[in-house]
Amino acid sequence: MTPEQKNSIRRTLEAKLDELLAISPAETSAETCADENEYASRLSEQSLNVALREREARAVKEVREALARLDSPDFGICEECEDDIGTARLAARPTATLCVHCQARLEKGLAFAI
């Protein structure tokens, strides 16, 4: 991977991190509700907001880890088979730690034979 490609990925990751950190949490209080239906609706909304916050926190962690790996010689190497992760895959998903083939195996539920 060329230094220009790494710089491009770094800019992408930094922009994604800025975007994730700029998201303000939505507040929905279920304390003062007019009726049971509104209360149930607000509880449902709160549950969804918690799930979204957890997802955003995982995404922030992934981006920060990718930024930390970017300067290591291991960046762009599959964690399972140790082959190169394609530049196009890293450009599309800079947080990727698996090559396309290992990711496909993981998604199909196949065990790695290493």
pLDDT band at 1 (very low <50, low <70, confident <90, very high): confident
pLDDT band at 13 (very low <50, low <70, confident <90, very high): very high
Residue 114 has pLDDT above 50, yes or no: no
Mean pLDDT over the full length of the chain: 87
pLDDT for the residue numbered 27: 63
- Spatial separation of the C-alpha atoms in residues 53 and 35, rounded to whole Å: 27
In this prediction the pTM is 0.75
Phi/psi-derived region of residue 32, left when phi > 0, alpha when psi is between -120 and 50, beta in every other case:
beta
Q: Which CATH number fits domain 3-108: 3.20.20.150, 1.20.120.910, 1.10.10.10, 3.40.50.720?
A: 1.20.120.910
Q: Return the domain boundaries, the chain.
A: 3-108
Better-predicted residue by pLDDT, 109 or 11: 11
Better-predicted residue by pLDDT, 35 or 24: 35
